[in-house]
Chain A
Amino acid sequence: MVLTVSPEALHRIRVHAADAYPEECCGLLLGGERDGGKEVLDVLSMGNARRESRTRRFLIAPEDYARGELHAAAQGLGIMGFYHSHPDHPARPSQFDLDHAWPWCSYVIASVENRVPTAVKSWVLKDDRSGFDEEIIERRETVPGARLRTGP
């Protein structure tokens, strides 16, 4: 699968990941679906609700998720997935990511090394929860249009 992400959204994920270093950052991917593929037009940064272990864990609280969904809907967008950073760690999902993953959503992970953002990759949970499949990130300007759906 391919995840289309606007250059501005990708830039904001990288900046958030660098700013949060050495802690993990997190946020929502906002956009829609077109011809069965997800398109990310915007991101909404979220505070890391974890009190402890913030250098290796993140949490988006349910009330923050609900606010994010309203924010997206107000722009005519939907939640396509989530992003977070892996400080000094590869941009691939951990067992903890797998244990807590929601289906269908894209999980964009940004690796940060010494405050410098490096690889950004996207992953989708397999239907049987056995692991993730990697999505190709296509960096492209996206334009909201009539064919853009806001959910699965």
Chain B
Amino acid sequence: MATRVLIPTPLRAYTEKKDALLLEGGTVGELLASLTAMYTPLRRHLYDDAGALRSFVNVYVNDEDIRYLQKEQTRVTDADTVSIIPSIAGGRS
């Protein structure tokens, strides 16, 4: 089973410029594990040192934020589309 995962512009430098990938996995966490196994340097940008998804990395299954589903345990099928969408945060201090 392969699910379509949409890659945002900032990460495409790591995915051979691809904006979408078909990845194997039954949950969002498994899809992201497939992604970071294929493109290892992505891992440090998606996950913090404790192994948690960074706060500014938003993952949606279709139009639903996984924070309001079962987070990385959210189940997916090949009919779903998973999107990684950035929040952009910063400031002077």
Residues of A within 8 A of B (CB): 24, 26, 53, 56-63, 65-66, 69, 78-79, 82, 84, 86-87, 89, 93-94, 96-97, 100-105, 107, 127-129, 151-152
Contacts and interface: CB of A to CB of B under 8 A. Distances in A.
Interface of B: 8-14, 17, 19, 41, 44-45, 55-56, 58, 83, 85-93
A107 B86 CA distance: 14
Given A102-B45, A103-B14, A89 B90 contact: no
Contacts of A103: 10-11, 13-14, 45
Given A129-B45, A151-B19, A104 B92 contact: no
A82 B56 CA distance: 14
Contact of A94 (B86, B88, B90): B90
A104 B58 contact: no
B92 A59 contact: no
Nearest to A72: B9
B10 A105 contact: yes
Contact of B91 (A62, A65, A84, A105): A84
